[in-house]
Structure 1
């Protein structure tokens, strides 16, 4: 069957053939590139080359030979997208669709805890594949539309693909700015699908925190035991006595898409013993009452809102136990008078219960509203002044955040990114949050963008000065003393590091490692300046019992500027010199406690980091 575009395209082709027949032999016309040709490179980028895939297959083979075979199937499919790319739109789309099905399988596997042992390596692989496949699909849709992309737009698309490939390998400021500029031009040209893909994979949120209802109750649930006197007037009686109230308070999360709704739920019992005095009699009563109260609190990321009134239900139970009159001591008459008074009091029990219920509802509701309003107002003030203020001061406060809740947990997602920076990607599909714990997912862009506010850019500092600056900043931001371990005795030489003018420090989370990239030059004690290098430090965190060990796996340096002229011997010497300077300052291993004290009111509970994974651009931490 003919497609709807066949006839007009055929007519256009015939018209072009007739119109140009008179001069077709006068000059050669280079045919326009088709689809992804001259936009996508002819070679798979780093991260999904054959050698990379072979390493992945070897890594997963011990755990799952089936997955190793599955990974090996990827290379010929990738070749159909790069090296052996077809010359027709249909062939290119078929190659993209085949890879898209592979990415979908990865998503299913990563959402299945049964494959948790291979999750880190598959997460890395999925991150490399997903953005390229989605981008190829979007570009195909754009360039083959009814308004084909102009040569200028195709050139911009090629530049975008190149910038993204380079950025994923080793991020730099100029690559960030290039991606942003390319996106603006592509959006103006109508490539909205391409822009959406890049936003999902490179301009997305870069932090997620999940807090379970179980943890909230560990932190804030409470029991109360209160005693007090009673002095009241009910009907015509003056009532005196005492009461004991035992109550519990817990948190119940409610589903909400635009805030976290925490319902405070209280329930309790009230035992009372009272005596009511009238002119005619003195009536003794006991009360065994119960109540339930609920008050919703909304948290939108900025403040706690407690405007909604508490809703209280009371279940009164007053029982008259004795009555005496002024005739009590009179034989025969006294007993009759007492019985009359007792029966009259019993008749009034429903009315007394109703009045008692109203008083319980009023007292409990007012107390709950007052205490919640005061405590959450203080919590908002502390949040703004002690937590958010330092972040704003150093440019680390997110420009976007969204809070929501389900009946099991509350989640906060945020993005720290300026309009010239790159942000996060899609969250990894699987996140196992302990029932009574929490989890955090931190994207590498959060640290790269946030670290820029520390104040290293453009500075010339010794290692000791850098360490002191980091300690001061982190202590202020975290609200506690932070101490960073110094070098071994005699290795703090006083040499100066000259940091790049823009974003000198970057982070990547790959293959179970935290990779730190630093753009800096070095001024030696002899006054020699080592030109700017890109120093890459690979750190591997391991969780062992109650400790986290951070092991320095490698340090290497390279010339980041291809225009900087130097011989191979010069480059090797300079690289070795600055690597030594970094090696002297960074301990081979560093051990930190995996136990975390979390404050709640005037007490604190101790939590333990139960997992720590660096993969696919994300650092995932769970606590229990």
Structure 2
């Protein structure tokens, strides 16, 4: 990517609201990024032109990779220059470049190439996405009528899969299976198995039943059917009905080739600059292909889902990392009062218990055991008419309480336990204990009798431990996760829905070692991410990966387009929204005099006039966070500054015990529309540059932060931050 050139400094001007800059940067580091070069807003890449960002991706590969890089560049140029009607030539170019990508993948797995990992990963993403789409386009052009049958079969399997997932969830809920009766589940299964037009008729009826439930006067019903599993079934049924009713699924439409070319050109434009206009064109081309191809756009959609409709938030947390928050050690002291083997038993005991999470493999849900490992030390005396027996007990127990989370609710299962009991008789006293010789003999006889009953007493001890631990573990855990379900709905799901930030797709899975959570924020007309290059989570830490589409789609929900807002209004907007997520106590800290980000400005804060489209866009490239703001400035004592595009590149450097956040290069300011006066534009640009320079001073933040989780302070350390190929990756341990 071409860096913006340094700009001439300027004189005093109004300051941009720091709340706005801080909030934008804060949202950005939570979810950014995607491309490599800035081009003009209305520029479109023609088929014969190699996109600038693809050329730039090859530049850093010098030295031993120079010849290889030149050869790849020549092959990419040949691909873009090839006759779009010559599918055989295009396939050969794709095949050759895919073999080059195999070399890159192999190098990325080799520690010897760690020094060029960043440019290799950037090239792997930039070129890999394009090759995937071209491959899918060529497959689409060569579809045969048999593809319709295969597509219907695939859509039917999607309906069955969604129905099975919903049925599994409903079995865990009291009277939940009545919903399967309402949705006519047996008839759905039977019609899909038989095939033919009846399946579409049955699934169309399912859509009507969903519509009735979603329009219910009962808010509980409406909320219930808005859950992920219900909506997945609804979407699968709608896709089946839509495809079945499409008259163009017996042959590709004449416009298919043009639509595929339009799609690819729009994707190139989006890769260059991910604005909403390019995203809308991609979705429009996709919709035309869904309506005009034999497979209903399935092959293209498969490639788009992998590269542009994928999850844009990903968190991988290791088991030790999660246990930093949830593991605890308990110790309880208490009296012992019992009646065992005809004896009144009394004394005291100390129970030490370690509680932790133990992940279990599940490809579609979060599954774990709440694991108890405990030891009970007891000192008791058992009193009968004949003797008092003194016993020291050391009992170990291991209990597991299975819990699973399906993305909507937590479910618990009954706990199980294993106990290793050990009673050791340490003495006895009888009515003869104080009589010389006879007393010792009597005491020894009492001890011997107690030893004979050791097996019985330990069996009883195991039963006592089980009967006390299991009910308590079940009741406490069940209550806790019932409360967690309510909290999740009230404190997480509801605010996210109100803010328009509730993910439209989620995925969960666990292994023995970690949990992976993925989500996507994407609506009609928007895009998601591609799959990030696989990076393992630290053994004792977590990995957070956030894509530019997450942040850009989130910013769009702020509804800033076309608005004129001053600092107080922006601050109120951000605080109001963040309070919904973080609680009513949230408030932006006030800047203090003397701090590096505070500067007196007698002229007061600026009032921003945001552009009607894409007022804020963020990109990530080559370890730079690129913030692009499209806005003008309202001035009381002068003409307003018309809409400018302000580009700020920010670099994150992890060093020592801190993270350095600073601008890379100068701030670029260009007019969105051609200015009436070039001289006037120079003044506008100089004023804008000064405003944003003062609003974005270098910052240093500590790598380690203490996070409050319930009643526990958990120290966290950010060990690495990188920004590559549209993804910000943050390592925490």
Q: Same fold (TM over 0.5)?
A: yes
> Which of structures 1 and 2 has the larger relative contact order (alpha carbons within 8 angstroms, sep 6+)?
2
Native 8 Å contact 2:317 2:542 kept in 1:
yes
1:127 aligned to 101, 107, 125, which one?
Answer: 125
Deviation at 1:423, TM superposition (A): 0.8
Equivalent position SS for 2:255: helix
Match of 1:55 in 2: 59
Matches within 5 A, 1:237-252: 237-252=343-358
Equivalent position SS for 2:478: helix
Match of 1:300 in 2: 406
1:96-129 per-residue CA deviation (whole Å, 9 max, x = no partner) reads 1111122233233334444333222222222221
CA distance in 2, matches of 1:99, 1:578: 47
CA distance in 2, matches of 1:357, 1:527: 85
Deviation at 1:574, TM superposition (A): 7.5
Match of 2:669 in 1: 557
When residues 574 and 393 of structure 1 are mapped into structure 2, their CA distance, relative to the original with a 3 A threshold, is: farther
Equivalent position SS for 2:456: helix
Deviation at 1:492, TM superposition (A): 5.9
When residues 114 and 206 of structure 1 are mapped into structure 2, their CA distance, relative to the original with a 3 A threshold, is: farther
When residues 599 and 299 of structure 1 are mapped into structure 2, their CA distance, relative to the original with a 3 A threshold, is: farther
Deviation at 1:302, TM superposition (A): 3.9
Structure with the higher helix share, 1 or 2: 2
When residues 570 and 45 of structure 1 are mapped into structure 2, their CA distance, relative to the original with a 3 A threshold, is: farther
1:478-523 per-residue CA deviation (whole Å, 9 max, x = no partner) reads 5555448666322764432222345422211111111122232332
Native 8 Å contact 1:460 1:496 kept in 2:
yes
Matched, 1:45 2:156: no
Instruction: Please tell me the root mean square deviation across aligned C-alpha atoms, in Å.
Output: 3.0
Stretch moving more, 596-605 or 181-190:
596-605
Native 8 Å contact 1:263 1:297 kept in 2:
yes
Match of 2:644 in 1: 533
Equivalent position SS for 2:93: helix
Equivalent position SS for 2:599: coil
1:149-174 per-residue CA deviation (whole Å, 9 max, x = no partner) reads 54422222222122111112122222
Deviation at 1:321, TM superposition (A): 3.6
Native 8 Å contact 1:405 1:411 kept in 2:
yes
Match of 2:619 in 1: 508
Matched, 1:593 2:706: no
CA distance in 2, matches of 1:584, 1:76: 41
Match of 1:546 in 2: 657
Match of 2:529 in 1: 424
Match of 1:136 in 2: 134
- State the aligned residue count: 574
Match of 1:180 in 2: 283
Equivalent position SS for 1:48: helix
Deviation at 1:282, TM superposition (A): 2.6
Q: Indicate the structure (1 or 2) with the bigger Cα radius of gyration.
A: 1
Equivalent position SS for 2:529: coil
Match of 1:209 in 2: 315
1:441-487 per-residue CA deviation (whole Å, 9 max, x = no partner) reads 00000000112233423320124543554355446535555448666
CA distance in 2, matches of 1:491, 1:182: 52
2:108 aligned to 102, 107, 110, which one?
Answer: 110
CA distance in 1, matches of 2:108, 2:481: 39
Native 8 Å contact 2:675 2:681 kept in 1:
no
Equivalent position SS for 1:319: strand
Equivalent position SS for 2:359: strand
CA distance in 2, matches of 1:206, 1:74: 29
Equivalent position SS for 1:613: strand
Equivalent position SS for 1:425: coil
Match of 1:159 in 2: 262
Deviation at 1:606, TM superposition (A): 1.6
CA distance in 2, matches of 1:69, 1:481: 56
CA distance in 2, matches of 1:113, 1:478: 41
Equivalent position SS for 1:396: coil
When residues 348 and 376 of structure 1 are mapped into structure 2, their CA distance, relative to the original with a 3 A threshold, is: same
Native 8 Å contact 2:502 2:521 kept in 1:
yes
CA distance in 2, matches of 1:152, 1:295: 58
When residues 363 and 53 of structure 1 are mapped into structure 2, their CA distance, relative to the original with a 3 A threshold, is: closer
CA distance in 2, matches of 1:545, 1:389: 40
When residues 492 and 46 of structure 1 are mapped into structure 2, their CA distance, relative to the original with a 3 A threshold, is: farther
Equivalent position SS for 1:535: strand
Match of 1:410 in 2: 515
> 5+ unaligned residues in a row in structure 1: which ranges?
1-38
CA distance in 1, matches of 2:711, 2:304: 46
Matched, 1:450 2:554: yes
CA distance in 1, matches of 2:327, 2:359: 13
Match of 1:523 in 2: 634
When residues 494 and 324 of structure 1 are mapped into structure 2, their CA distance, relative to the original with a 3 A threshold, is: closer
1:436 aligned to 508, 525, 540, which one?
Answer: 540
Match of 1:285 in 2: 391
Native 8 Å contact 1:110 1:428 kept in 2:
no
1:30-70 per-residue CA deviation (whole Å, 9 max, x = no partner) reads xxxxxxxxx97011122113xx255323xxx3xxx223432
1:353-376 per-residue CA deviation (whole Å, 9 max, x = no partner) reads 111110011112223223333444
Matches within 5 A, 1:24-423: 41-49=47-55, 52-53=56-57, 55-57=59-61, 61=62, 65-85=63-83, 88-146=86-144, 149-190=252-293, 191-305=297-411, 307-328=412-433, 338=443, 340-423=445-528
When residues 136 and 45 of structure 1 are mapped into structure 2, their CA distance, relative to the original with a 3 A threshold, is: same
Stretch moving more, 325-334 or 96-105:
325-334
CA distance in 1, matches of 2:622, 2:426: 75
Native 8 Å contact 1:293 1:312 kept in 2:
yes
Native 8 Å contact 2:615 2:629 kept in 1:
yes
When residues 153 and 394 of structure 1 are mapped into structure 2, their CA distance, relative to the original with a 3 A threshold, is: same
Match of 2:220 in 1: none
When residues 492 and 132 of structure 1 are mapped into structure 2, their CA distance, relative to the original with a 3 A threshold, is: farther
Deviation at 1:212, TM superposition (A): 0.8
Native 8 Å contact 1:463 1:585 kept in 2:
no
Structure with the higher strand share, 1 or 2: 1
